[in-house]
Structure 1
Amino acid sequence: MTTKNYTFFLLTGEPGVGKTTLTKKLSTEISSKGIQTTGFFTEEVRKGRSREGFDVVTLDGTRGRLARDQSLLTEPIKYKVGKYGVLIQEFENVALPSLIKPDTTQPHLLVIDEIGKMEFFSDSFKTAIRTIFSPSSNCVVLATIPVRRSDQLIESIRNHNLAKVWMVTRENRNTIHNEILKEINTTLNFM
């Protein structure tokens, strides 16, 4: 019996369930084995108990603002999600360079946390995502996507024949790590 080799590993689940934490843990373990990892995480920005917005942080530590509570912004904002103004240019300046696959024949993991509504206000990001998930792509990707059905491009990624999707819940977030790691390592070892 032949097992299917996936190249796109997707985590989905409700907001706040632990997708980013799990993604960080997986990417840290993979990079500790000498596998090159690039990409970015999206992190909450809090002041005390209050969430002020979100930052985009690359795996090498470069940080920029993705969104802020509109009450904290002085400039007019074109794109909004709830109470947050999305800072497209700052997001693109940090996130887009981290998505360029290194010119290497060595195994590589691209981490994208997250492919979602705020990020999709960027046409340049959407174009990069189309390329990364295209039939001619040779990327191995660990990404997070929204649990709710949304943008057509996100749905095409969710249903891609080379994608394996895990639903992260409060009940399984501490136990599915090894299963996901095993799948990713299997793919990276074939490269």
Structure 2
Amino acid sequence: MNTTRKRFFILTGDPGVGKTTLTKKLTSSIIEKGVKASGFYTEEVRRNGVREGFDVVSLDGLRGRLARDQSLLGGPVKYKVGKYGVLVDEFEKIGLASLNQAADQNSLLVIDEIGKMEFFSEPFKKRIREVFSGISSHVILASIPVRRSDNLIEGIRNHSLAKVWLVTRENRNQLHDEIMKEIASLLAVSS
């Protein structure tokens, strides 16, 4: 029997199901308990109800563009996912930097999300490998795609230190308390 305590709390689910909303709520709850947190989340950018792209937002409030509808960009971009051009330099300036400043002891590292757009950054992929190597003492809250993707993401999903929750429209409002209780027990705060 494996008695190793889980420290990687992984959310997965279909796009738009509420993973980022749940991540933000959990992060706020942890910070309110006095625990240090670093990292980033991604957020849809909409104008007049139409999605224009995605931003990367660090927990300390820095914001940059992750991706934009290619029709809104002044020219061609090297990396694309569907109709979106991925702005790797801007992502690294905010997202990667937020991971590199993470404290180790008794802190939460938030990575929303580890996916196709973010993986155009080789330094980001390298940092993800380091973070999930099991050597650091981070407690991690992260989100990954629900469908099988690449070996690194599958390694996270199947890691012995990971607990994975499938977020659905039906359970997304109930998962907060369950996940919070587990994270809080590791970070020595009351849930």
The question of whether the paired residues in 2 share the 8 Å contact of 1:12 and 1:168 is answered with yes
Number of equivalent positions: 189
Shift of 1:116: 0.3
* Residues 82 and 103 of structure 1: CA distance in aligned 2, closer, same or farther (over 3 Å): closer
The question of whether the paired residues in 1 share the 8 Å contact of 2:104 and 2:138 is answered with no
The question of whether the paired residues in 2 share the 8 Å contact of 1:101 and 1:110 is answered with no
Letter in 2 for 1:85: G
Corresponding residue for 2:7? 7
* Residues 18 and 102 of structure 1: CA distance in aligned 2, closer, same or farther (over 3 Å): closer
Partner of 1:99, secondary structure, is helix
Shift of 1:173: 0.3
TM-score (norm 2): 0.95
Letter in 1 for 2:156: I
Alignment of 1:39-78 (within 5 A): 39-78=39-78
CA distance, structure 2, for counterparts of residue 23 and residue 30 of structure 1: 11
Identical positions, percent: 66
* Residues 109 and 12 of structure 1: CA distance in aligned 2, closer, same or farther (over 3 Å): same
Corresponding residue for 2:31? 31
Letter in 1 for 2:76: P
TM-score (norm 1): 0.95
CA distance, structure 2, for counterparts of residue 174 and residue 152 of structure 1: 30
The question of whether the paired residues in 1 share the 8 Å contact of 2:41 and 2:56 is answered with yes
CA distance, structure 1, for counterparts of residue 115 and residue 2 of structure 2: 33
The question of whether the paired residues in 1 share the 8 Å contact of 2:102 and 2:109 is answered with no
Corresponding residue for 1:148? 147
* Residues 103 and 114 of structure 1: CA distance in aligned 2, closer, same or farther (over 3 Å): closer
The question of whether the paired residues in 2 share the 8 Å contact of 1:77 and 1:86 is answered with yes
**Which piece of structure 1 moves more, 116-125 or 132-141?**
132-141
Letter in 1 for 2:12: T
* Residues 3 and 79 of structure 1: CA distance in aligned 2, closer, same or farther (over 3 Å): same
Corresponding residue for 2:112? 113
* Residues 102 and 83 of structure 1: CA distance in aligned 2, closer, same or farther (over 3 Å): closer
Corresponding residue for 2:182? 183
Corresponding residue for 2:135? 136
The question of whether the paired residues in 1 share the 8 Å contact of 2:41 and 2:113 is answered with yes
Letter in 1 for 2:188: N
Partner of 2:34, secondary structure, is coil
Runs of 4+ in 1 over 6 A off after TM superposition: none
CA distance, structure 2, for counterparts of residue 69 and residue 102 of structure 1: 31
CA distance, structure 2, for counterparts of residue 86 and residue 102 of structure 1: 24
Q: CA RMSD in A?
A: 1.6
**Gaps spanning 5+ residues in structure 1: where?**
none
Shift of 1:5: 1.3
* Residues 96 and 179 of structure 1: CA distance in aligned 2, closer, same or farther (over 3 Å): same
Letter in 1 for 2:37: T
CA distance, structure 2, for counterparts of residue 179 and residue 189 of structure 1: 16
